[in-house]
């Protein structure tokens, strides 16, 4: 849970700093010195320092929903559900990318849990999981607050694609789950959007957080959770899900759940099967687990549902990637969740003549946690990830979120 240094300046910060030091116009310098790239109304210094910032209504209303540029859920009326838009980053047209915010503010005080989805734009089961949890909540009966943001990376969702289409320096696609905690004055729109959301919406309202994902287009995954079990508060939540795999790892920096952890907020990342589709059966497991988490935190009353104790959970601390070495059609010889042995053949690949050009084996014993679902592959594509245990863990991990 180390704090990351926030004083590092990116390109745009340097630009602001350098304009401010030119000194040709004291008035201009003073103005530029205060301005952020977003010039939003909320006090960014307070937000960046982690101080609670009051709710700021922009005065806009979109389809009957009020727009905020900063939110403190404690400002909302208890015992009710609130539907708001948060004003995200500004687009090239000068308009904004708004995100949808649903707050179930309990009648009684208590813990605050934040649920997010749509950091990647093609992961629809994650969105439906959050919807399903929110629809089960009755604020009049709750002690505490649950806030949901289902469409974090709006422009990626508009195209149902993983990455954010960015146009700052020509056409570009940016993976928003490498941008957290973001930078309100960052060089790219996704970085600024991440900074605005994290500083003014997500972190100030979270005592715990869950960032829901699925596999990505062309690559399916099992039902599993990613989180660091060395943090007791995270381990307790991970074990409340009736799903068969836990990837016990801090993975790498830049992902949203790690930004929460770095801010001292326990967080983890569920992975809910294939991209693009709604896997209703798998979704129901994560809804049950998430309701368990809300009961664990005392927000919702009632008996626990099924947990990890009711299923066989395989816990691995590493994901072994099997990468294509050739081009051609890939045929898997194992299925998701299958146990594999070290040396076991897991896939073959054929060229355009039907000749076998590659046979792929797992170098480790473990369980299949992800598989390429697009049948064609070029060299370098991951064909499978095998969840396994290595000791001690070292370095950064690759994983198929």
257 binds Zn ion (CB under 5 A): no
CA distances 299 to 6, 25, 136, 165, Å, are 33, 54, 13, 38
The yes or no reply on residue 401 touching Zn ion (CB under 5 A) is yes
Q: What are phi and psi of 365, to 5 degrees?
A: -95, 130
Q: Pick out residues in 118-157 that bind Zn ion (CB under 5 A).
A: 120, 123
Q: Of 135-143, 187-195, 238-246, 393-401, which segment contacts Zn ion by CB under 5 A?
A: 393-401
Smaller CB separation from Zn ion, 273 or 366: 273
Q: How far apart are alpha carbons 274 and 390 in whole angstroms? A: 26
Piece in contact with Zn ion (CB under 5 A), picked from 51-59, 117-125, 145-153, 377-385: 117-125
Q: How far is the CB of 219 from Zn ion (least distance, A)?
A: 10
Between 82 and 120, whose beta carbon lies closer to Zn ion? 120
Please answer whether residues 159 and 276 qualify as being in contact, where contact means their C-beta atoms are separated by less than 8 angstroms. Answer: no
Q: Is 3 exposed, middle or buried (0-12, 13-18, 19+ CB in 10 A)?
A: exposed
Nearer to Zn ion, 219 or 314 (CB): 219
- Name the token pair of 246: 């836990």
Are the beta carbons of 95 and 130 closer than 8 angstroms?
no
Q: x-or-dash pattern for Zn ion, window 76-115, by CB under 5 A?
A: ----------------------------------------
- Residue 161: CB atoms within 10 A of its CB come to 19
Q: Is 311 helix (H, G, I), strand (E, B) or coil?
A: coil
Comparison of 204 and 273: residue with beta carbon closer to Zn ion: 273
Q: How far is the CB of 220 from Zn ion (least distance, A)?
A: 13
Per-residue contact flags (x/-) with Zn ion for residues 195 to 224, judged by CB under 5 A: ------------------x-----------
Quick one: tokens of 120? 């990647």
Count of helix runs (H) and strand runs (E) in the chain: 9, 22
Please report how close the Cβ of residue 162 comes to Zn ion at its closest, in angstroms. Answer: 7
Distance (Å, rounded) from C-alpha 153 to C-alpha 101? Answer: 13
Q: Does 163 bind Zn ion (CB under 5 A)?
A: no
Min. distance of Cβ 249 from Zn ion in angstroms? 15
Residues engaged in binding Zn ion (CB under 5 A): 120, 123, 213, 401
């Amino acid at each position: 849970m180390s704090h990351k240094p926030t004083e590092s300046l990116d390109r745009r910060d340097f630009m602001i700093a350098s304009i401010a030091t030119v000194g040709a116009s004291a008035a201009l310098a003073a103005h530029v010195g205060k301005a952020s790239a977003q010039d939003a109304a909320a006090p960014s210094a307070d937000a960046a320092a982690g101080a609670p910032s009051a709710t700021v209504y922009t005065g806009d209303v979109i389809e009957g929903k009020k727009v905020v540029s900063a939110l403190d859920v404690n400002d909302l009326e208890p015992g009710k559900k609130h539907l708001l838009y948060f004003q995200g980053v500004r687009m090239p047209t000068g308009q904004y990318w708004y995100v949808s915010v649903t707050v179930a503010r309990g009648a009684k005080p208590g813990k605050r849990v934040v649920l997010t989805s749509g950091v990647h734009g093609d992961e629809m089961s994650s969105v439906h999981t959050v919807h399903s949890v929110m629809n089960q909540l009755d604020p009049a009966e709750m002690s505490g607050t649950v806030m949901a943001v289902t469409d974090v990376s709006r422009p990626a969702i508009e195209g149902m694609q993983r990455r954010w289409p960015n146009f700052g320096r020509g056409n570009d696609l940016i993976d928003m789950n490498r941008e957290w905690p973001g930078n309100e004055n960052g060089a790219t729109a996704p970085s600024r959007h991440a900074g605005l959301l994290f500083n003014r919406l997500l972190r100030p309202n979270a005592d715990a957080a869950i960032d829901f994902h699925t596999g990505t287009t062309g690559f399916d995954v099992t039902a599993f959770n990613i989180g660091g079990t060395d943090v007791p508060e995270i381990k307790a939540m991970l074990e409340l899900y009736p799903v068969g795999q836990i990837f016990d790892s801090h993975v790498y920096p830049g992902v949203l759940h790690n930004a929460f952890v770095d801010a001292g907020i326990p967080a983890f990342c569920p992975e809910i099967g294939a991209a693009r589709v709604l896997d209703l059966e798998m979704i129901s497991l994560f809804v049950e687990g998430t309701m368990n988490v809300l009961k664990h935190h005392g927000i919702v009353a009632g008996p626990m549902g099924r947990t990890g104790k009711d299923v066989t959970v395989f816990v691995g601390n590493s994901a072994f990637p099997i990468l294509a070495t050739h081009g051609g059609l890939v045929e898997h010889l194992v299925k998701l969740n299958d146990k594999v042995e070290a040396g076991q053949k897991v896939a073959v690949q054929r060229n355009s003549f039907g000749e076998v050009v590659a046979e792929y084996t797992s170098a480790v014993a473990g369980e299949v946690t992800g598989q390429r679902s697009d049948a064609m592959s070029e060299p370098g594509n991951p064909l499978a990830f095998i969840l396994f245990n290595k000791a001690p863990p070292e370095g950064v991990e690759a994983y198929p979120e």
